[in-house]
Amino acid sequence: EPLTSYFKAFVDSQPDLFDPDTNPNGYLTMCVAENRSMEAMLEARTRQILADMSSTESFPSRELFTYGKFSGTDTLKAAVAGAVSTFLAPPLDGMETASEFTPEDVIAVTNGCGPAMNLISFCLGDGDGRDCFLSTKPLYPVFLLDCGKEAGVRVVPSVQTSMETSFEISRSV
């Protein structure tokens, strides 16, 4: 079955999209990389960031208007390193640990899950079609292209999720 076999259903669903208030029985499309449930929060935060940026002398025009560094901006890498040091790998009392993560420790930051999966596929896979990633189902179908067609790593939808459980991922018994 071609990768784009879902396209007609996607187009047909557009006039009847889910909205918790106005259309609770509408379609929830899983084939696009957008999260409409966060639009209001993202808009408010973006407006605040733009207001803050407009009041500073240094405007990040290079980061906003050019490709910049392909592995992520220095500011973003510093923020990721700080978050990793604070929340994911904090120093433990009584244990000898390496120093905190630095921006140089953050190898790359991508602009989405698809590019990240693509990069990981090339890094971890042998490209012979024998390696695979296990994924939830339903699945974002472009992963099949990002990983399989380009890097030769199969994506195997094997963890069933459903709208009835808010797409919760849990271990099957």
Cis, bond preceding 138 (omega within 30 deg of 0): yes
Q: What percent of the chain has pLDDT over 90?
A: 13
Q: What is the pLDDT of residues 54-93, one digit of tens each?
A: 887 877 777 777 777 777 788 888 888 888 888 777 766 6
Structure tokens at 56: 């500073």
Averaged over 111-138, what is the pLDDT?
Answer: 86
Structure tokens at 53: 């940026």
Q: In which residue are the tokens 């079609």 written? A: 129
d(CA 112, CA 63): 17
Structure tokens at 63: 């980061």
Mean of per-residue pLDDT scores for the chain: 80
Number of helices and strands in the chain (H, E)? 7, 2
Q: E strands, 1-111, where? A: none
Asked if residue 103 lies in contact with residue 77, where contact means CB atoms within 8 angstroms, the answer is: yes
Q: What is the dihedral of CA 132, 152, 31, 35, to 10 degrees?
A: 70
User: Which comes out higher in pLDDT, residue 39 or 69?
Assistant: 39
Asked if residue 125 lies in contact with residue 153, where contact means CB atoms within 8 angstroms, the answer is: yes
- Give the pLDDT of residue 1: 46
Q: What is the pLDDT of residues 14-36, one digit of tens each?
A: 999 988 899 999 998 877 767 77
Q: What is the DSSP letter of 164?
A: G
d(CA 110, CA 72): 7
Asked if residue 63 lies in contact with residue 73, where contact means CB atoms within 8 angstroms, the answer is: yes
